[in-house]
Structure 1
Amino acid sequence: MTGVVASEATTEIEKLLGLHPKGFDLSLDRITRLLAALGDPHLKLPPVIHVAGTNGKGSVTAFCRSILEAAGLSVHVHTSPHLVNWHERYRLGVAGGRGRFVEDAVLADAVRRVAEANGGEKITVFEILTAVTFLLFSEHPADVAIIEVGLGGRFDATNVIQHPAVSIVMPISLDHQAYLGDRVELIAAEKAGIMKRGAPVIIGFQSEEAARDVLIATAERLGCPYAVYGQDFLAHEEFGRLVYQDEFGLADLPLPRLPGRHQYANAAAAIRAVKAAGFAITEHAMEIGLSRVEWPGRLQRLTDGALAQLAPRGSEIWVDGGHNPGAGQVISETMANFEERDPRPLFLVTGMINTKDPVGYFEPFGALAERVFTVPIRGSDAGLDPVALAGDAARAGLEAEPIPTVAEALIEIGRITSEDSVPPRILIGGSLYLVGDVLADNGTPPT
């Protein structure tokens, strides 16, 4: 698999995967015990921006990082899952410059030390890797750390942070119901668990009023100063620019580099969050941050690479790891906007894991996609059978067929489209695992 790093750190993590569960076991007892054995590194961090939400966590994290780095600050970033290499979970801040993924030897050493401190006690690999985050971020100086929640919030392993500079809760919709509940207000209550008494809270765009009400009620109960998208701050497009507004005034900014109108609200949440965290951010830093922001695997365009070359000449190829109905809605809206600007036949190449709602994901594409090709996911043992997934797409009103690989899907799209017709638009997605496999096979891993 091109792009995957054969490394010392990967070997150490794979050892742990053989000893400990790979999934989630929502509790703070084990991570607290482990961190105590390590000297409580989570209490020795720079100011923390803590990010939760069903959708948009990664985007708002990317915007915060880009804006803060444009202001000359060094920024640590923790995200999960990774797409191709484990190192992507740990970006270490660089003074006056762009943060870099942790070096392999440094990560391997941290993993070994955390495993040794755990002493063979029962724990999940995610908890160990979260402890690695705190160890690395405490031992490398930086001005700020952005830490993304793995799952939920209240009992997520990252939620040992006691005094965040700001907590951000992004859009909430149904996902991980087995862990978090089957109603948005229950999921919102879990996400709201990252709020800490008296610490600022930013509530991103919420399409569900019930979720927004829970988040506001929790912030008020904890005495948190809070700002709500659409109420206390907002952003909209005007004459090809992004107009941001909050109680402090207006900012005339470039449209975000990340495609999709949903990114306007994500950018606005990031701007308001860095202000709430106490950082003096100039409009120039906002401009540079929005212009340079990048977030691999989320509406990322593939223009070259081994897989991209298999598609029909002139194809527009996008990859996106969104995997729930909320993500399907915003991604389909973006595809519809692309269609208005540049009409092309849309093909989906989709793989999903068995904890998701495939029909809910596919439904927003009903009037847009010509055909869906469903593929297995090599990077997960929980992947849905492509035949079953094609049936889900059909139930959502789409013409669908299973196919063995993404490469074969791209070749088949070339076979069924005429050379003298408009080149197609191809969206590969439905799972971050699938996107990771695609970026690796294409030879374009995140950097």
Structure 2
Amino acid sequence: MARTYSDAIASLNSLQTNFAIVDAIRKSGRKMNEQAIPEMVEWCRKIGYQPSDFDKLNTIHIAGTKGKGSTSAFISSILTKYLGTKSTKDGRILSKVGLYTSPHLRFVRERIQINGEPLSEEKFARYFFEIWDRLERAAEETGQDPKASGTKPVYFRFLTLMAFHTYVSEGVSAAVIECGIGAAYDSTNVLQRPSVTGITSLGIDHVGVLGATLGEIAWHKAGVIKVGAKCFTTTSQLPEAKEVLNRVAQEVGSELVYVDVDQRITTGQIQLGLEAEFQKTNASLALAISKDWLQKHGYDSMDDNDSRQRQGLQDVKWSGRCETRYEKNLTWYIDGGHTLESINLAGQWYAATQKERRQTHAKRYLVFNQQTRDANALAHALHSTLATTLQDSHPFTHTIFCTNTTFRDTGYRPDLVSTNTNASDVEALTVQRGLAETWKKIDSEAEVSVVRTIEEAVDLVRLAASTQEQVTAFVTGSLHLVGGFLEVIESDKP
């Protein structure tokens, strides 16, 4: 009996860790599981692989706090411009480029891409159930109930196994692999011999598992550094991070290369498909990593005049990050910034788009949520950034705080279900009401609303635009919010 994509998503969602467990771990102060990699090796064995089997994927392993997804997308886009190129080393054709990222926005299959496109529903279901069935057989062979708890890895680990299996099965020539949290104990770090690694800008995030200092966090991210592979990072890393990265690279025996922003990008000779000033750093890092991978595997010299690298940077697609969308009388500005540093960068990008438009847009909306972090601190940071950049302490005429629930009548799309939030808080709108009170103190002139779903927030903004006034709306605070927002506007276009 055929099992569908919907069946796969329902089964995958059963592997999510519920909020109570996640919250207990966070409050206990437990750090990341030091046995994570041996455990991941064992999961690989159960589905028929050894970590060395993934060497053939010629991986590019990317860690970081900010920009690791964008950098990975830039690399994937560049490498796909070389499809069909023959290697001068072994004569192999560069035929397929894999890209594994997280989280997804609208569809889980966005996480596992080939040649810049998410897996089809059919292929996702096929590879998902190949892994699912192998794990159930492994449980049965040891006398366990294959349906019992613990016979399958948790959500992210399962998808990591599935991504590696997919890329081996599909015969990809290169796989760009983005770390989940940290790197040293991240499930993707089962990779033993990556071709090249990269570490994007570092900052304070996931302190409950990575540590509270930049040095501690840098050590975790440095887990991608491997002997035999160059590691590229940005010159803008803070001294505390550089000290740790330099030490780990020396201990491992890897060459650490610091990358400046490419002059061709700063002067506009190369245009980027992703907006925002900080993307110039990510694109420059991606160029250096791509060039090293191509040279290492014998695919052209990729000199600075190669039009393929320009085209790759220009054609990159990375939805929900510094993205602008247009409707009648309405401009949406969308970014999934969700840490103090990323929300500041998102705010700077939004402010840069508004300096010449504020006089012509009578109504300016903020649609915001952050369900699992210090939401009030993020709201304060966003207001501070905008007030300073725009020299206006009233950046929005209206603010809307909603949950990450997608639709009014049907709730979450299955791909967007999350059990890692406090259900009672979501039901009572606890976080949203707190944010509303916070914003009233920050800006007493703004009209503040609390709604239950993303769909209702979108409806409020669209209603304002229907009066023929020019309206702008900034959607930010969470990638989960952004994913649900994109689902709403794509499935119910006005």
Please state which band the TM-score falls in when normalised by the shorter chain: 0.7 to 0.9
Identify if the C-alpha distance between structure 1 residues 443 and 208 changes in structure 2 by more than 3 Å, giving closer, same or farther: same
Question: Which is higher, the Rg of structure 1 or of structure 2?
Answer: 2
Counterpart for residue 368 of structure 2: 350
Counterpart for residue 438 of structure 1: 485
Distance 1:132 1:332 in 2: 36
Residue in structure 2 matching 1:166, options 183, 193, 196: 196
Once the 2 structures are TM-superposed, how far is the Cα of residue 293 of structure 1 from its aligned partner?
A: 0.4
Q: Which moved more, 1:117-126 or 1:183-192?
A: 117-126
Residue in structure 2 matching 1:180, options 203, 210, 231: 210
Distance 2:273 2:226 in 1: 32
Once the 2 structures are TM-superposed, how far is the Cα of residue 314 of structure 1 from its aligned partner?
A: 1.7
Residue in structure 2 matching 1:261, options 255, 273, 277: 277
Distance 2:353 2:251 in 1: 43
Contact 2:16 2:418 in 1 (8 A): no
Identify if the C-alpha distance between structure 1 residues 285 and 237 changes in structure 2 by more than 3 Å, giving closer, same or farther: closer
Distance 1:396 1:200 in 2: 47
Residue type of the partner of 2:456? E
Residue in structure 1 matching 2:129, options 78, 98, 109: 109
Contact 1:166 1:200 in 2 (8 A): yes
Distance 1:8 1:415 in 2: 37
Of Structure 1 and Structure 2, which has the larger fraction of its residues in strand?
1
Residue in structure 1 matching 2:337, options 322, 328, 331: 322
Counterpart for residue 432 of structure 2: 386
Q: SS state of the match for residue 112, structure 1?
A: helix
Contact 1:21 1:125 in 2 (8 A): no
Counterpart for residue 39 of structure 2: 30
Distance 1:318 1:132 in 2: 33
Once the 2 structures are TM-superposed, how far is the Cα of residue 179 of structure 1 from its aligned partner?
A: 0.9
Counterpart for residue 28 of structure 2: none
Distance 1:391 1:205 in 2: 40
Counterpart for residue 404 of structure 2: 377
Q: SS state of the match for residue 7, structure 1?
A: helix
Residue type of the partner of 2:341? G
Identify if the C-alpha distance between structure 1 residues 297 and 360 changes in structure 2 by more than 3 Å, giving closer, same or farther: same
> Does residue 47 of structure 1 match 2:86?
no
Counterpart for residue 244 of structure 1: none
Once the 2 structures are TM-superposed, how far is the Cα of residue 217 of structure 1 from its aligned partner?
A: 2.5
Residue type of the partner of 1:267? A
Contact 2:330 2:462 in 1 (8 A): no
Residue in structure 2 matching 1:213, options 243, 247, 255: 243
Residue in structure 2 matching 1:404, options 445, 452, 467: 452
Q: SS state of the match for residue 336, structure 1?
A: helix
Identify if the C-alpha distance between structure 1 residues 199 and 108 changes in structure 2 by more than 3 Å, giving closer, same or farther: closer
Q: Which moved more, 1:367-376 or 1:157-166?
A: 367-376
Identify if the C-alpha distance between structure 1 residues 348 and 164 changes in structure 2 by more than 3 Å, giving closer, same or farther: same
Q: Which moved more, 1:128-137 or 1:340-349?
A: 340-349
Residue in structure 1 matching 2:176, options 146, 158, 169: 146
Residue in structure 1 matching 2:292, options 276, 287, 295: 276
Residue in structure 1 matching 2:101, options 79, 85, 88: 79
Counterpart for residue 9 of structure 1: 8
Distance 1:47 1:237 in 2: 28
Once the 2 structures are TM-superposed, how far is the Cα of residue 394 of structure 1 from its aligned partner?
A: 5.1
Distance 2:124 2:21 in 1: 21
Contact 1:65 1:77 in 2 (8 A): yes
Once the 2 structures are TM-superposed, how far is the Cα of residue 355 of structure 1 from its aligned partner?
A: 3.0
Task: Give the alignment's TM-score, normalised by structure 1.
Answer: 0.83
Once the 2 structures are TM-superposed, how far is the Cα of residue 100 of structure 1 from its aligned partner?
A: 4.2
Identify if the C-alpha distance between structure 1 residues 433 and 114 changes in structure 2 by more than 3 Å, giving closer, same or farther: farther
Of Structure 1 and Structure 2, which has the larger fraction of its residues in helix?
2
Task: Give the alignment's TM-score, normalised by structure 2.
Answer: 0.76
Residue in structure 1 matching 2:321, options 286, 289, 298: 298
Identify if the C-alpha distance between structure 1 residues 207 and 392 changes in structure 2 by more than 3 Å, giving closer, same or farther: farther
Counterpart for residue 70 of structure 1: 81
Once the 2 structures are TM-superposed, how far is the Cα of residue 191 of structure 1 from its aligned partner?
A: 0.8
Distance 1:215 1:101 in 2: 35
Once the 2 structures are TM-superposed, how far is the Cα of residue 34 of structure 1 from its aligned partner?
A: 1.0
Q: SS state of the match for residue 485, structure 2?
A: helix
Once the 2 structures are TM-superposed, how far is the Cα of residue 200 of structure 1 from its aligned partner?
A: 0.6
Contact 1:63 1:289 in 2 (8 A): yes
Counterpart for residue 197 of structure 1: 227
Q: SS state of the match for residue 333, structure 1?
A: helix
Residue type of the partner of 2:334? V
Residue type of the partner of 1:91? Q
1:305-330 deviation per Cα after TM superposition (whole angstroms, max 9, x unaligned) = xxxxxxxx421102222201111111
Distance 1:388 1:43 in 2: 50
Structure 1 stretches lacking a partner, 5+ long: 242-251, 305-312
Identify if the C-alpha distance between structure 1 residues 42 and 181 changes in structure 2 by more than 3 Å, giving closer, same or farther: same
Distance 2:219 2:442 in 1: 30
Q: SS state of the match for residue 354, structure 1?
A: coil
> Does residue 339 of structure 1 match 2:354?
yes
Residue type of the partner of 1:30? E
Once the 2 structures are TM-superposed, how far is the Cα of residue 442 of structure 1 from its aligned partner?
A: 2.0
Contact 1:387 1:401 in 2 (8 A): no
Identify if the C-alpha distance between structure 1 residues 351 and 271 changes in structure 2 by more than 3 Å, giving closer, same or farther: same
Once the 2 structures are TM-superposed, how far is the Cα of residue 353 of structure 1 from its aligned partner?
A: 2.1
Residue type of the partner of 1:90? I
Once the 2 structures are TM-superposed, how far is the Cα of residue 169 of structure 1 from its aligned partner?
A: 0.8
Once the 2 structures are TM-superposed, how far is the Cα of residue 237 of structure 1 from its aligned partner?
A: 5.0
Alpha-carbon RMSD: 3.0
Structure 2 stretches lacking a partner, 5+ long: 26-31, 84-93, 140-145, 406-416
Residue type of the partner of 2:110? E
Distance 2:124 2:357 in 1: 43
Residue type of the partner of 2:344? Q
Distance 1:386 1:425 in 2: 21
Distance 2:483 2:134 in 1: 26
Distance 2:436 2:138 in 1: 44
The percentage of counterpart residues that share the same residue type is 23
Once the 2 structures are TM-superposed, how far is the Cα of residue 392 of structure 1 from its aligned partner?
A: 4.4
Distance 1:136 1:361 in 2: 40
Identify if the C-alpha distance between structure 1 residues 59 and 18 changes in structure 2 by more than 3 Å, giving closer, same or farther: closer
Contact 2:46 2:135 in 1 (8 A): no
